[in-house]
Amino acid sequence: MDEVMAIWAQWVKPSAGLPTVQWSLLLAAAACAGHLLQRYSGLPKVVGYSLVGTLAGLAGFPAGWPLQGVALFLLELGVSLVLFEAGGRIALRWFRHNPMVLLQSLLEATLTAVAVYYVLRWLDVRASVAEAMALISMAASPAVLSRVIMDTRAAGPVTERAMVLATLNTFYALTLVSARVGTMHVEDTDLVGTLYPVAVVLGISVVVGAVLSLVLRSALRFMSPTSENTSIVMISLIAAAAAMAAHFGGSAPLAALLGGLLLKQLHPRPWAWPRQLGTAASLLTMLMFVLVSVVAAKADWNPAVAGLVAALVLTRGVAKVAGISLANFGSGTSLKQAFWTGCTMAPMSSVALLMVSQFVASSLTLGPRIASIALPAILLMEILGAIITTFAIYQAGESLKPWMPVGATDGGEQRG
């Protein structure tokens, strides 16, 4: 790929540079692949996006690692948009009426982290690397889950519970990883030294998220939620909040999540993304999935790593299903629904890649070791996790769209 690009670079000189041409064509190919895959197999479009990115990464498509500059900001912005919307779905008063959901979330996240840590330690993985992987494994992927829900037109208790739990465990993981990165080079820390970085990350993210929610609430007082100008205001303010949170030492995705959560409390009436913002968010989301798979595909695979990845993925999946099922009593769902909800926690994607990038940027020794396990796991579970989530939603009976390829249906009608 590099040699081909070098030849092209001698005569292709676009104003924005050759990488712009490369990424534009790659995104066009991903969009086509996602559409065709959903049309003829019934699988969500995100699987097509990820497959195209994987093939491009394996072919040597240029993507810097660790992420920095424009690529890092675009990934943070894409994740921030998804988490802002996810936070905007959660009404805190719901937890007063159903506190077992919080218990499910805490047990699922804690059991996942503990199980992954001890399994990796049993496999002779260094303690600091196992700890980092345990924290990363806590987070599901609201981005993958939201795309699957959109493509399957899912609605129901499993779907709603899955989005809430994915948002909450992402909140825990982002907070703990951001704090852990700040203490990686500190040998011995007391309780205050351990909790202080968590307080700093949470405090800055809460302040930025609160400012974002207040400004958006003020805008919604005199602007229509369906207006194109409102869309521009929302995406611009989320981008500004993401940049500010990262600059001051907070977490950009965490600030966006908290901003959406606080806006829901200030503006409790049902609200949805404006259609215009949905188009822009879809483009960023597709770019995010392609970027994740391109970067993750460049990881070095070997039998030892493959074994660790398989153990991590299996342990993580079992722990999430077990945690949600064990705390299901009194939560308002059946044990069968709890099982399928646990299956929807399988995907790992952009949030996990951001956390891995943080570890790599903060430590030249531990970072590559963490990435060598995490990147293959992310690549595997971005694709396989989306398929598992789709299957779980259909098995729960919450998809308004039958799992029947459109092409097959059309063909049947034509033959009839």
pLDDT of residue 97: 82
Q: Dihedral through CA 339, CA 341, CA 343, CA 346, nearest 10?
A: -150
Q: 2 pLDDT band (50/70/90 cuts)?
A: low
Please state, in angstroms and as integers, the Cα–Cα distance from residue 204 to each residue in 174, 244, 261, 264, 352, following that order: 13, 10, 16, 20, 21
Residue 16 confidence (pLDDT) above 60: no
Output 33 or 224, whichever has higher pLDDT. 33
User: Into which CATH architecture does domain 66-415 fall?
Assistant: Up-down Bundle (1.20)
pLDDT of residue 18: 66
Average pLDDT on 28-44 reads 92
Task: Grade residue 253 by pLDDT with cuts at 50, 70 and 90.
Answer: very high
Domain ranges of the chain: 66-415
Residue type, 356: V
- Measured distance CA(343)–CA(390) in Å, rounded: 10
Instruction: Look up residue 12 and give its two tokens.
Output: 């292709």
Query: Which helix or strand (DSSP H or E) is residue 323 part of?
Result: helix 303-326
Closest CA to 331 of 171, 141, 108, 172: 108
Minimum mean pLDDT range among 48-62, 134-148, 227-241: 227-241
SS3 at position 139:
coil
The pLDDT score that the predictor gives to residue 227 is 74
Q: Name the residue among 222, 221, 259 with its Cα closest to residue 240.
A: 259
Return the pLDDT at 392.
Answer: 95
Chain mean position to CA 221: 31
Measured in whole angstroms, the distance separating CA 80 from the mean position of its chain's CA atoms is 10
Locus of tokens 């066009």:
28
End-to-end CA distance of the chain: 47
Q: Residue 175: in which H helix or E strand, if any?
A: helix 157-182
315 contacts 122 by C-beta, under 8 angstroms: no
Establish whether the linkage from the previous residue to 368 is cis, with ω within 30° of 0.
no
> Contact at 8 Å (CB) between 118 and 62?
no
Which has more pLDDT, 6 or 44?
Answer: 44
Per-residue model confidence as pLDDT tens digits over 102-132: 999 999 999 999 999 999 999 999 999 999 9
Please choose, from the candidates 53, 94, 79, 166, the residue with its C-alpha nearest in 3D space to the C-alpha of residue 392.
166
User: Considering the chain, what is the average pLDDT of its residues?
Assistant: 85
Say if CB 78 and CB 253 are below 8 A apart: no
**pTM, to two decimals:** 0.89
Averaged pLDDT for residues 174-197 = 74
Bridge partners (DSSP) listed for residue 154:
399
CA distance 194 to 372: 26
- Token readout for 381 is 């579970």
Give the DSSP H/E element, type plus range, for residue 136.
helix 127-138
Instruction: Write down the H helix ranges in 13-99.
Output: 18-41, 45-58, 69-87, 93-97
Which band of pLDDT confidence, cut at 50, 70 and 90, is reported for residue 270? low
Q: Report the SS3 class of residue 154.
A: strand
Cα radius of gyration rounded to whole Å, the chain: 21
Which residues, including other chains, have CB under 8 Å from residue 113's CB and lie 6 or more apart?
134, 135, 137, 138
Task: Judge whether 120 and 134 are in contact, CB under 8 Å.
Answer: yes
- Answer for the pair 183, 135: CB distance below 8 angstroms, yes or no: no
